[in-house]
Amino acid sequence: MSADERRCEPFTDTRDRIIVRTSTVGIVTNVLLAVFKAAVGLVSHSIAVVLDAVNNLSDALSSIITIVGTKLSGKLPEFTFFPCALMYLPRTIFTTTATAMMTRETVPYSGVSGRIIFLTRRTR
């Protein structure tokens, strides 16, 4: 174990346990709440309450993703050249974009990406 790993281990271990515990409580709570809301929504024939139950299930899924992300973030990278690759990425993006602009190359957009751009544009 390297010095960096030993230095960060207590903080990361405590932090990870808190994140996992909190997310687990959130998952259990959201699933129980979803079951209750789905039952109430079905009995009362309210689609809004049933859809609120679906929203609680998506919140539970988001907590699962948080746990997975926490576990993955604790792992060391498998390769050592990652910082060097990050140095070249902005340069590559800039040169590719500049070349496309100078040659007046058109960017092919699919229907899906066009809709995403349209829906996410800012309006003033």
Tokens of 68: 């997975």
Q: What is the pTM of this model?
A: 0.53
The answer to whether residues 59 and 26 touch, using CB atoms and an 8 Å cutoff, is yes
d(CA 38, CA 79): 47
Domain ranges of the chain: 3-120
Instruction: Provide the H-helix boundaries in 1-124.
Output: 3-43, 47-73, 82-102, 111-120
Q: Report DSSP state, residue 93.
A: H
Sequence-distant (6+) residues with CB within 8 A of 30 are 56, 57, 59, 60, 63
- Least reliable range by pLDDT among 30-34, 100-104, 117-121: 117-121
Cα 122 from chain centre: 22
Residue 26 above 80 pLDDT?
yes
d(CA 29, CA 59): 10
Tokens of 51: 């859809």
What pLDDT does residue 36 have?
Answer: 96
Scan for tokens 């699933």, then name that residue: 31
The rounded percent of the chain whose pLDDT value lies above 90 is 40
